Every structure is written in structure tokens, then in C-alpha cells.
Amino acid sequence: MMRRFIPVLLASVTLTNSQALSQPSLSQALTCQRSNAQNFLVFGGGGGPSYNEIALEKNMLYFQRSLKELGYNPSVAPIYFANGNTGEKTVRYIDGRGREQYKAHSIPNVQGASSIANLSTWLTEAAKEKSLTPLFFYFSGHGGHNRTNEDNSTLLMWRDRQLNVQNFTQMLDRLPQNKPFVTMMSQCYSGSFANLIYRAGDPNKGIALQTRCGFFATIKSRPSVGCTPEVNEADYRDYSSSFFAGLTGRDRVGRKVASADYNKDGRIAYSEAHAYAKVDKFTTDLPISTSEAWLQRQVSNPTMQEQILGQPIAPLAKIARPEQRFVIESLSKQFKFDPARSFRGNLQAMKPDLVKTAEDEAYLVRLSMELTNVAMERRVKTSKDAKAIATLNRLLRCESGSWGKP
């Protein structure tokens, strides 16, 4: 076991043209979405055939099944995937004999390539609609690590183009100020995109006026899991699989899963699906949301962190929101922690055989992060900082949204 275990704390491109956007398809998509309680936009795939794994194609198909599970017609969600509709064999997979193969994608309703130009044009046209209907943006692809500035990492778009946090956020600025924007991203270093809550995507410039929030597979400094060329979806273990299983109540192979309605209000909020994902699959990911990234920025020094993890677990679980309590209690039980003791105290007393793998270590980090989130949320809410309280409440309201009723 890692006796010196240190909990992980949170821890530029020029826009270029790629495959042109089909304007009639965009108009059709926007017209179709007007009557719905929720707007959708999906971008996915690798930046080139060599890393456009079949799992990314299957994520698009699972997303469409998730829409259908909640009563939406999948056609309401325009999808931009890899090379688009050129018919090229760009999806990489491993066949039954273990050989690498390529095929054309089989995703219905693909509008075009996952290019920066298409994303920019879609958001520009959507802004002209002046609709205040919430927009849910799903990205399932690859991410680039900006080692110089981890707050400004990138999405890898088709033809190996990179779109960084700040340029992406500037696109979002085109949308109406009162149009809520929610994203779920599963790429490596995706936590960097939690900075979309700031003006121009820059944490040094303050919170943006627009209501924006998101959920990310892992923190800004780490890769994520899930981009595999293997075909069998029953073996997939990744944030997308868990998030949508929690949101819809059905996993990617059609099995019913335990309800994520932790507050018993009859609906599954994004934050509840996020909590479900933290416990569901055994991976090395460290899932994080915008509010959690913001809260962890409020941890001003290591001493504050030591104090939080030195508190008994039970009182923190008691003041937690229901979905947070679920995570704390589930992960504490997994490691046989005594809730009357602190995280640090339990860690010191833990039997070595309970932490054998990188996945075990990641789950310990998840627990430490959740305890930190709860403690910092209480600290902010009981402070006299009206601006910080308003920021936190706005993020939590955004994250407590759901797909609603079509």
C-alpha cells in the first residue's frame, strides 16, 4: 500500500477549416430541437484513423440509445463524428483473429466531420436562434495535454486539429447569456475544460456571465481510460459508460442498473449520474465537475487539506448532499473505513492487501476528493463571501439539471 499516499488535488490553436458544414442539415437540426425541453450537440471520434477507435463509434451509438431510453428521438441530437459522411474506412478495431482492421462508421444522423469549423459554425448558427433552451454538449474523443498550462489543454478534432479550452470557451460566448450550457467530456485531461466557467476560459479572469457547467472523466493532469479498438462493449469500463448508465438507468449492453436518484425526487440529475460514475466502474479515472474543480481551487494551502482529511468521515457525510453521501459511504465501505475516524486515520490503519492496484489508489483519491468537496462547500456556504456563495450556487443549480421531458 502507498503509505505516503498524497491525495490528488486540482491538481493554442488557430481555427482552421476542415470538412464544410452542410447548412441545410444544421437548419433541420435546430428546427427539430425547438420543440424539445433540451437541445443536444455531439462531437466524437479521433483526429485520424490511427486513433479513431471503435469504442468512440460505439459511444455515439450508446448516446443515441440513452436518448431513446429517456423518450427522445435520437434524431434530435446532431452528431459530428471523425471524417463525417465521406464513407472512408476510418474506424479502427480488432477483429476476431486479433488483427487490426478499419471500417466505415455506422452511426445514424451524422451531420459531418468532427472539425473545428463545423463546431464553430453550429454554435454561431445556434446563437442566431436566440433560444434559451438548455444545450447539452457531449464530446467523446481524445484530448491533448498542455504541459505548459494545464488549464488550457485541447480537444483533438478531425485531421489532427487541436482546439484549446480558451478558444472553445470563446465559441460558447456566442450563445445567449441566459442559455444554460452543460457538457460531458470523456477525453484525456478533460478536467482542463472545467475552466469553461471562466471568462475566455481563463481562471484568472473571473466567472463568466453565462450559465455553464460540466462533468469530466478525469482531472486536468491525467489521461482517461476507454479508447479501445476492442469490439465487445460488455468489457468497456469508462466514464461515458457509467455516466449514461446512471442518467438513464440502463447500461450500454441494455441491463438495468441501480437507480441514481439519490435525493428521491423522481428524476436523475447530471450530478447524480456523475456520482454514480465515481463508484460504478473500477478504473484509474478521477471524475470531476465544474463546481468540484472550483471548490478545490479554494483550498489555499496543504494545511487546509490536512485539516479536512483529519476530520472524522461521519460528520462530513452527514452534511453532504445525497449524491455526495452516496459516494462517501460507498467508497468508505469498499475500503472498510471506520466512519468515526478520519480519512488519514483510516489510511494509516488500513490493511495493505486492500490497496494492490492503480485502480485501488484512484478510488482512495476519489474518496479524498469527495470529502474535500463537501468540506469546502460547507466552508463557502457559511462564509460571508456573497460573491463566492452566488458562484457556487449557480454552478450547483446548473449541475443539478437533467435531460427533462421531451
pLDDT tens-digit series, residues 54-71: 999 999 999 999 999 999
CB distance 79 to 111 below 8 Å: yes
Query: 136: which residues sit within 8 A by CB, 6+ positions away?
Result: 38, 39, 40, 41, 182, 183, 184, 403
Q: Are residues 277 and 327 in the same domain?
A: no
pLDDT tier at 405, thresholds 50, 70, 90: low
Q: Are residues 30 and 135 in the same domain?
A: yes
CB distance 157 to 119 below 8 Å: yes
- The CA distances from residue 249 to 9, 25, 47, 253, in Å, are 31, 31, 31, 12
H helix and E strand count, the chain: 13, 11
pLDDT tens digits, 87-121: 999 999 999 999 999 999 999 999 999 999 999 99
Q: How far apart are CA 274 and CA 277, in angstroms?
A: 5
Mean pLDDT of the chain: 91
| CA-derived radius of gyration, the chain | 21
Which residue is associated with the grid cell 463545423?
Answer: 118
- Three-state DSSP at 396 gives helix
- Three-state DSSP at 135 gives strand
Q: For residue 9, what is its C-alpha cell?
A: 488535488
Average pLDDT for residues 305-324, to the nearest whole number? Answer: 98
Show the 3-state SS of 73-108. Answer: CHHHCCEEECCCCCCCCCEEEECCCCCEEEECCCCC
Average pLDDT for residues 207-213, to the nearest whole number? Answer: 95
For 111-121, b/e burial (b = at least 16 CB within 10 A) is bbbbbbbbbbb
Strand 288-289 relative to strand 161-164, pairing: unpaired
Q: For residue 382, what is its C-alpha cell?
A: 457559511
Q: Where are the alpha helices (DSSP H) in 134-220?
A: 165-172
Q: For position 36, what pLDDT does the model report?
A: 60
- Three-state DSSP at 329 gives helix
Q: Are residues 33 and 182 in the same domain?
A: yes
Q: Are residues 78 and 152 in the same domain?
A: yes
Q: Are residues 200 and 56 in the same domain?
A: yes
Polymer length in residues for the chain = 406
Q: Are residues 201 and 105 in the same domain?
A: yes
Domain enclosing residue 247, as ranges:
23-291
Q: How far apart are CA 174 and CA 194, in angstroms?
A: 18
Residue after which a domain boundary falls, among 291, 315, 347: 291
Beta bridge mates, 207: 198
Q: How far apart are CA 105 and CA 91, in angstroms?
A: 6
Q: Are residues 231 and 361 in the same domain?
A: no
Residue after which a domain boundary falls, among 291, 313, 344: 291
Q: Please check whether residue 405 lies inside any domain of the structure.
A: no
Q: For position 373, what pLDDT does the model report?
A: 98
* pTM summary value: 0.91
Q: How far apart are CA 51 and CA 269, in angstroms?
A: 32
The distance from CA 264 to its chain's CA centroid, rounded to whole angstroms, is 23
Q: Please check whether residue 352 lies inside any domain of the structure.
A: yes
Beta bridge mates, 92: 53, 102
Residue after which a domain boundary falls, among 246, 263, 291: 291
Q: Are residues 134 and 97 in the same domain?
A: yes
Top pLDDT among 190 and 38 is at 190
Q: How far apart are CA 403 and CA 321, in angstroms?
A: 20
Average pLDDT for residues 202-228, to the nearest whole number? Answer: 95
Torsion of the alpha carbons at 288, 79, 211 and 222, rounded to the nearest 10? 20
**Domain count across the chain:** 2
